[in-house]
Amino acid sequence: MRVSAAVVVSGALLLAGCTSTGSAGGGTTRPPASTSKTGRLTAPVTGQQMAAIVAATTTENNRANQSLSLPELKSYEAGSALAIDGAAYAESAQLTNSECSFLPFGVKVLQAMAKGGTSYPAQFVVLGNTYQMKPPHGCRTSTAGCPDAGTILVFSRSTASSPWQIVLEPNADPGDTIRLRGSGANGSGSIAAGMPPAGPDPKVVPTDVANALEGYETSGHLGSLKATYFTGSCWPIPDPRAAYEQYRKSDVNEAESYSPASDLVSYVTASGRSALAIFTLHFEIQLVPAEASSSIAWASDPESDPVTALLPTGAYSRIVENGSLQIAAVVGSGANGTDFTIIGSYGGVTSISGTKGSTSSSGGGGILVSYGG
Per-10-residue mean pLDDT for the chain, 373 residues long? 42 41 37 42 71 88 90 96 95 80 80 80 88 76 72 92 94 79 44 40 90 96 95 91 93 96 90 88 96 90 88 94 96 61 95 82 44 46
Instruction: Name the pTM for this structure.
Output: 0.83
> What is the per-residue pLDDT for 359?
59
Q: Helices marked H in the chain — which ranges?
A: 47-67, 70-76, 79-92, 205-219, 240-249
Cis peptide before 121 (omega within 30 of 0): yes
CA distances from 137 to 66, 99, 102, 140 (A): 12, 9, 13, 8
> What is the per-residue pLDDT for 103?
78
**Could you tell me if 163 and 226 are in contact, meaning their C-beta atoms sit under 8 angstroms apart?**
no
Domain extents in the chain = 7-184+195-363
Q: Determine the Cα–Cα distance for residues 269 and 288; give it in Å rounded to an integer.
A: 44
Nearest to 265 by CA among 328, 346, 190: 328
Nearest to 22 by CA among 371, 372, 267, 332: 267
Nearest to 18 by CA among 288, 264, 250: 264
Contact partners, residue 86, CB within 8 Å, separation at least 6: 70, 73, 74, 350
Q: What is the DSSP string of 17-75?
A: -EEE-------S--PPPEE-TTS-EEES--HHHHHHHHHHHHHHHHHHHHHT-HHHHHH
Q: Determine the Cα–Cα distance for residues 13 and 204; give it in Å rounded to an integer.
A: 29
- Environment class of residue 41 by beta-carbon count within 10 Å: exposed (0-12), middle (13-18) or buried (19+)? middle
**Could you tell me if 149 and 171 are in contact, meaning their C-beta atoms sit under 8 angstroms apart?**
yes
CA-atom Rg of the chain in angstroms:
21
- Environment class of residue 262 by beta-carbon count within 10 Å: exposed (0-12), middle (13-18) or buried (19+)? exposed
> What is the per-residue pLDDT for 192?
35
